[in-house]
Structure 1
Amino acid sequence: AALAVYALTGVLSPAFARPRPLTESEIGAVPNPTDVEFGSSTGSEHSGVARLLGYQVAPVAVEPGGTVEVTLYWQALARTEQNYAVFVHLLSDVGTIVAQRDTYPGLGRYLTTVWEPDVAFADTYRVRIPETAYAPDVGYVQVGIYLPDGPRLTTPDGRDAVRLAAVEIEPQPGEFPNPLDANFGDQIALIGYRLDRRVAQPGETIRLTLYWRALAPMEENYSVFAHVLGVEDQVWAGSDGWPVGGRSPTSHWEPGQVIKDGRDLTVGLTTPPGFYDIEVGLHARGVGRLPVVAEDGHWLDNRVLLSGIRVVGESTD
């Protein structure tokens, strides 16, 4: 699925002062020394723009909705006429972007065009974890430098990003995992879900557990659909049918009742490697899909997208 593109933030904010230069003793005491150079390559020559001296990440465990502070210790290597931006990504254990922050150094108060060679400074980036981030998970902080309308800078060994510390994404306290509040037509709410794995090979099965709550008495027997979607919403795995294998039709549900509904998603043998979405919804013959509605009743969609999965390798069958 396409990743959201975030605008550069904080560029004109007057609330942040320009980072002060680090002293020699502070440079020598930088935490987690990395000594990674970012620049551009022409043939066998690498022209450095900045060096990442070290970093600090806190906290190392966070819940969805929380914030991680990433402090990067930069040193300018050469003057530049380009205004480079910094990205800080938190990648999931699957490899998708959980959260990101893209901004100019110093939140716009210390543009690379005014950097002086050899001057080092600390720059802190606050990365907010979405409420909908999957948990439990292990996130990996990845950073780099790029032109907003151009390519990323690279390291001498050709990398365009550097992976730093790991961050544990812990479940929020509550009765249901990965809590949601997806209202399907004021009839049924999806209130949580769990995946037994998020990386699979073709032919392997992913167990998806859905937690539903009845919102009103229903005469209709709705079917649940859960699909693994690729490019242009092509279905590569799916499960369609009444909840709980047909043993709990929605016409029998009582308002407020919670139903635990397990579904097996077997990845097709011809599924190519890559990242895939999981869509979930409800439908009935002659009714179609139930809409997902907002608090004010307006229509949002006819499905909910859950955490993505990754397909790796090839079937051995």
Structure 2
Amino acid sequence: LFAPAHLYVGRTPALTLKLERIQYPLSARFTNGVELVGYALPVDAAPCDMAGEELPLTLYLRRNDAGASEDIDALLFAHLMTPDLQLQDNGPLGNGYPLTLWREDDIVDDRRAFALPEPLTPGKAYFETGLFWLSSNGAIRRAGIVDAEGRIGGDQVVFGPIELCNGVARVSFDDLSPVGAVFENRIALEGLRSERPANEPGALRVELGWRALDRSPTAYTAFVHLLNDEGAIVSQHDFPPGGEANPTHLWVPGETVRSTALLALPPDFAPARYRLRIGLYEPVSGRQLTVKRPGQREEATFLIVDGIER
């Protein structure tokens, strides 16, 4: 005997999820017209006693270009990358809700779950996701990701860092002067110190102490400018504040990071005539993050620091 089937005829219900209610917004637009607009995670860290439990991940997607192709569907791959394992939960996009039924700009949730290994290896984990494009001719290929200028720059999104088993080391800022500047409630510049190294008298070394307040959607670049008394840049250093191996979108909430900027000094350098300008920006768009310091009413897109060490 078969259970009775139910056939529903009529208009599909409106999906009313709003972008501003998504826990972690993202923007990754695939070549088949599907866009990953964000995700949700229930925890910032998995302690050792979470070994063997399921870690849920919710992805939010929409089809913002229903006429992008004649291809009929897609599979979504989702990987949890731990220090020593790749865990997978791959399957139909939208948990089986056919892509052909998605209306333009509807937001569809896609739920995945990962069984954490036993025992948990201390360290950091993160997610990778992307689409396998199922063409009408039967071919299967990865869907590329399109940037703001229409170029295909990759085929997977990396996001959602999680600390495992208290395995992310914290660094001290005790030797830095307090700053307390906050960039869009995601990253704080907690401290700073500048000095002229004895072995490099023609350079100024700037030590920076960062703290992740929440997960970041992209890998930001830091800039440190040396300004003269007319406000002109005489030296600068742009760099990933966590280095190439630890970009900001893989910083776990609460993680502390130190970085160093080295600025070439002009021959007539006099500390009283110079200031530092510091900030963060998105490397693709160039947008600078807004920043506020304690007691500051208005936001700015950079931080000015006086009092350069002699």
Q: Same fold (TM over 0.5)?
A: no
Report TM bin, short chain. Answer: 0.3 to 0.5
